[in-house]
Amino acid sequence: MKLVPVLIASATLPLPVLAQAVLPTEAVPNRAPLQQAPFVALALGSVDATGWLEHQLRLQTNGLTGHAEEAISELGPDNGWRGGPGEGWEKGPYFLRGLVSLAYVTDDAKLKAQGQKWIEAILASQTPEGQIGPKSSNDWWPRMVICWTLRDYYEATKDERVIPCLLKYCRYMLQKMPEQPLFEWAKARSGDQIDTVHWLYNRTGEAFLLDLSALLEKQANRWNSFYRSLDGSPGDFRIVHGVNVSQGMKFPVTNYERTGSTDDKTAFKDAWATLRKKHGLSVGMWSGTEPLAGKSTTQGIEMCSIVEQMLSNEVAMEALGDPEIADWHERIAFNLLPGGTTKEFKQFQYYTVPNCPVARKNEKGTLPYADDHGDDLLVSPHSGFHCCCYNLHMGWPKYVQHAWMATQDGGLAAMAYGPTKVSVKIGGTPVTIEEETDYPFSDVVRLTVRPGKDLAFPLKLRIPSWAVNARVAVNGEFVSGVKQGEFLTIQRTWKAGDKVLAEFPAEIETENGFNGSASLWRGPLVFSLRIKEQVESVTKIAGGKFDELEYRPGSAWNYALDIERGKPGNVKLTRGKMPENPWLPESTPVTLTVPAKRLPSWGLVRQERMADEVPLSPVKSEEPVEQVTLVPFGAQTLRITAFPLLRGEAVLEPGFTASHHHGGDATDVILRNPTPASSRGEGMPRFTFWNHVGTAEWIQNTYEEVKEISSVSVYWFDDSDSGRCRVPQSWQVTYLDGSEWKPVANASGYGVAKDALNTVKFDAVKTRAIRVEVKLQPEFSGGLLQLKAE
């Protein structure tokens, strides 16, 4: 095949001069003075799912979303948002947003009718002043979700009651917010409302909406500075809360649309970099149980954070146009979303954990989660705190909705891949593009372009940053200008039936994780050990259709891999037939075969409710080499994803970790705190092991490179006047020597003085990591205000 360089431009080259760009009717661009965005979202309903994605949405329709009223409480006619006396906070709004998205992506009459009952009640609830929803609460936060739902519903139906309702409500907000400012969750999630306010401004041009947008910025958490330092500002509400962190990412992005400032523009990607560095798990996101929780392989990600991060990504993909964001987005959608839900979409886990060989109920306080509800790993239609069970429904339909977007110059862009069909009108001409693919289980994407008549418009394809030697062909002729991590623009006059073929080959690569562990990735998929799952129903729900399930491992899980770090040569990829549901472990179409040895010393801990921390690599094992099977993360509920390695050097991820910490606490801020005036540490961020009492605990700081250390100073936290934290019974400093923790030699003495800096000097060590190991006093907890190692 010959190369045809003409008509092709990469994203970084100037486009051929076009006639006045005409955007698809389904795309409403930003109205001045808002910044023009590189992409414009399409109305809900413009993109349909086909292939495995359609099957996934059908499972959701027949599973938890379509039957939520049977499986989870509080969604019946009593709900406050349906005009009843019941729940009037976030539960109804969360569920309705997912339901409406699913209903109009699938065009399902039954789901639409189900949603309409809520919509009618909400529209009818508006007071003459403009307030909407139950009178039981005037919290701005759940109304942010309702506003988003109403705009989705409007995009799909054009119901002419919606815009006046939203305008009236926004006028009410602007008038009321000076005396009733954003409070608690609304303060953290203000970016959600700003996005809707801009949506409404683009459709109406009402100038007061820009004043409201500015006020919503002013009264919110200081997200931009947090995303760069992970230190909060005075007055912030729960800024380290994982779901807030994910939702808050819309805040700088939407502000950027109004301000055009570089600070706002760069905060989204800065957030990703900081969060991955300090709290990153090698499954595509960072921990949050519920607050950010470090890099341990047994920490998890709340289901709300998964779907909210996806929505924030979708907003950022449109406004910032950076293809890397879509790479990250796919990794969440194709791993964490199916990994956290059961394969028939009837149950889920509150926390999705990289290394999770057992999933059962536990006594509260057993697991190392600041918020341990006792059923966070239980596989249930309402696992953990009752937020995710209402919120998770939007994940897949919103992925489909944003898989395609309009381009600023009047074309269409494939933003995130999967089997879909986009249908729009450009300048009055209907255009459909069918995307046939088994992606991410296949590297090949086939597009068929069908304009109603010959039509010139640019078609942009995202070339994933991991795609090695990607190729794109138009009607059988490969085109030039394909670059990893950029958008390829194909500008031509499209004829009905034109074919575009894209190939995105990928290499198998390792990603480094906690304690030098490694996870295996190929393209957007991360792989986990195939563990046989023994499933037991522990609570019958809805006549046995949506039971609560406990999972125990029915095969060995404690393996170390015998591979090289980087691009391992001895991992075998096997492809099978594409099944209807690719997330079933027994029939998933892509598997890896990897040499491994068992590690008998690596077992379950904490009343056998979780795996012990992954041992520090490299590890030794006398066991025989076996060939183990890895399947996509999303195909297992029980899994090991961050493996110890038998080969190579220790690779430590820098960062601050602890055996346990209290959710309201700051973590590594004790490395930067000034010396306090007393152990009470008034007004100072602290670290505590609360609510653990009398236990042995540790905190660990891992450096970027080897450091010589000969003294450690600790300022203990003690709240004898009001609380249950005391100086510890005893402590010691250990350091990492190769892959072993050793106590420092000739320590001058480990002080436990209150209201003083306790310094211990010892023979200098050269190390990558130190630990302060603490034995708490019986019946008491403890903590630190300052930690220095020199």
Tokens 């059961």 identify what position? 342
Q: Which residues 6+ apart lie within 8 Å of 709 measured at CB?
A: 735, 764, 765, 766, 767, 770, 789, 790
CB nearer Zn ion, residue 60 or residue 558: 60
Give the range of 43-51, 193-201, 382-390, 698-706 binding Zn ion by CB under 5 A: 382-390
442-461 residues near Zn ion, rule: CB under 5 A: none
Count Cβ atoms below 10 Å from residue 242 Cβ, excluding itself.
29
CB nearer Zn ion, residue 149 or residue 688: 149
CB nearer Zn ion, residue 304 or residue 502: 304
Least Cβ distance, residue 657 to Zn ion (angstroms): 24
Least Cβ distance, residue 20 to Zn ion (angstroms): 46
The string of DSSP codes covering 298-314 is: T--EEHHHHHHHHHHHH
Check residue 634 and report its DSSP letter.
G
Least Cβ distance, residue 387 to Zn ion (angstroms): 3
Give the range of 336-344, 388-396, 402-410, 623-631 binding Zn ion by CB under 5 A: 388-396
Least Cβ distance, residue 388 to Zn ion (angstroms): 3
Backbone torsions φ then ψ of 99, nearest 5 degrees: -60, -45
Least Cβ distance, residue 94 to Zn ion (angstroms): 9
Task: Decide: is 387 part of the binding site for Zn ion (CB under 5 A).
Answer: yes
The answer to whether residues 292 and 274 touch, using CB atoms and an 8 Å cutoff, is: no
CB nearer Zn ion, residue 239 or residue 387: 387
CB nearer Zn ion, residue 352 or residue 407: 352
In whole angstroms, give the CA distance from residue 402 to residue 412. 12
Least Cβ distance, residue 386 to Zn ion (angstroms): 8
The residues facing 770 across adjacent strands are: 701, 735
Q: Which residues 6+ apart lie within 8 Å of 266 measured at CB?
A: none
CB nearer Zn ion, residue 356 or residue 388: 388
Least Cβ distance, residue 305 to Zn ion (angstroms): 7
Tokens 């001895």 identify what position? 570
Structure tokens at 769: 């990591």
Give the amino acid at 513.
G
CB nearer Zn ion, residue 149 or residue 700: 149
CB nearer Zn ion, residue 392 or residue 635: 392
Q: What is each CA distance from 293 to 168, 370, 664, in whole angstroms?
A: 41, 8, 11
Least Cβ distance, residue 72 to Zn ion (angstroms): 13
Give the range of 202-210, 386-394, 648-656, 762-770 binding Zn ion by CB under 5 A: 386-394
Residues binding Zn ion: what is the number (CB under 5 A)? 4
CB nearer Zn ion, residue 302 or residue 562: 302
550-569 residues near Zn ion, rule: CB under 5 A: none
Write the interaction track for Zn ion spanning residues 335-374; mark x where CB under 5 A is met and - where it is not: ----------------------------------------
The residue whose Cβ lies closest to Zn ion is 304
151-190 residues near Zn ion, rule: CB under 5 A: none
Tokens 């907890």 identify what position? 781
703-762 residues near Zn ion, rule: CB under 5 A: none
Closest CA to 56 of 392, 552, 461, 424: 392
Among 111, 283, 292, 388, binds Zn ion (CB under 5 A): 388
How far is C-alpha 747 from the chain's CA centre?
Answer: 44
Check residue 687 and report its DSSP letter.
E
CB nearer Zn ion, residue 242 or residue 553: 242
Least Cβ distance, residue 242 to Zn ion (angstroms): 9
Least Cβ distance, residue 617 to Zn ion (angstroms): 33
Write the interaction track for Zn ion spanning residues 239-278; mark x where CB under 5 A is met and - where it is not: ----------------------------------------
Structure tokens at 117: 């009952």
Write the interaction track for Zn ion spanning residues 88-127; mark x where CB under 5 A is met and - where it is not: ----------------------------------------
Write the interaction track for Zn ion spanning residues 654-693; mark x where CB under 5 A is met and - where it is not: ----------------------------------------
CB nearer Zn ion, residue 288 or residue 589: 288
The answer to whether residues 215 and 175 touch, using CB atoms and an 8 Å cutoff, is: no
Handedness of CA 668, 673, 678, 683 (dihedral sign): negative
Least Cβ distance, residue 285 to Zn ion (angstroms): 14
Least Cβ distance, residue 394 to Zn ion (angstroms): 12
The answer to whether residues 666 and 685 touch, using CB atoms and an 8 Å cutoff, is: yes
In whole angstroms, give the CA distance from residue 380 to residue 399. 23
Least Cβ distance, residue 307 to Zn ion (angstroms): 9
CB nearer Zn ion, residue 380 or residue 657: 380
Closest CA to 235 of 195, 183, 197, 196: 183
CB nearer Zn ion, residue 387 or residue 474: 387
Structure tokens at 23: 């955007």
Buried b (16+ CB within 10 A) or exposed e, 303-334: bbbbbbbbbbbbbbbbbbbbbbbbbbbbbbbb
The answer to whether residues 734 and 744 touch, using CB atoms and an 8 Å cutoff, is: yes
280-309 residues near Zn ion, rule: CB under 5 A: 302, 304
In whole angstroms, give the CA distance from residue 100 to residue 587. 31
CB nearer Zn ion, residue 75 or residue 304: 304
* Maximum pairwise Cα distance, the chain: 85
Least Cβ distance, residue 603 to Zn ion (angstroms): 30
Least Cβ distance, residue 385 to Zn ion (angstroms): 6
Least Cβ distance, residue 397 to Zn ion (angstroms): 18
Kind of pairing between the strands at 412-414 and 455-462: parallel
CB nearer Zn ion, residue 239 or residue 304: 304
Task: Decide: is 789 part of the binding site for Zn ion (CB under 5 A).
Answer: no
Q: Where are the alpha helices (DSSP H) in 125-249?
A: 140-157, 162-176, 185-188, 190-204, 208-218, 223-229, 242-248
The string of DSSP codes covering 329-377 is: HHHIIIIIHHHHB-TTSS-B-SEE-SSBS-B----TTSSS-SS--S-SS
Give the range of 89-97, 181-189, 361-369, 384-392 binding Zn ion by CB under 5 A: 384-392
Tokens 């993109």 identify what position? 47
Measured between alpha carbons, how far apart are the two ends of the chain, in Å?
A: 63
CB nearer Zn ion, residue 141 or residue 687: 141
In whole angstroms, give the CA distance from residue 729 to residue 450. 74
In the complex, which residues of this chain contact Zn ion (CB under 5 A)? 302, 304, 387-388
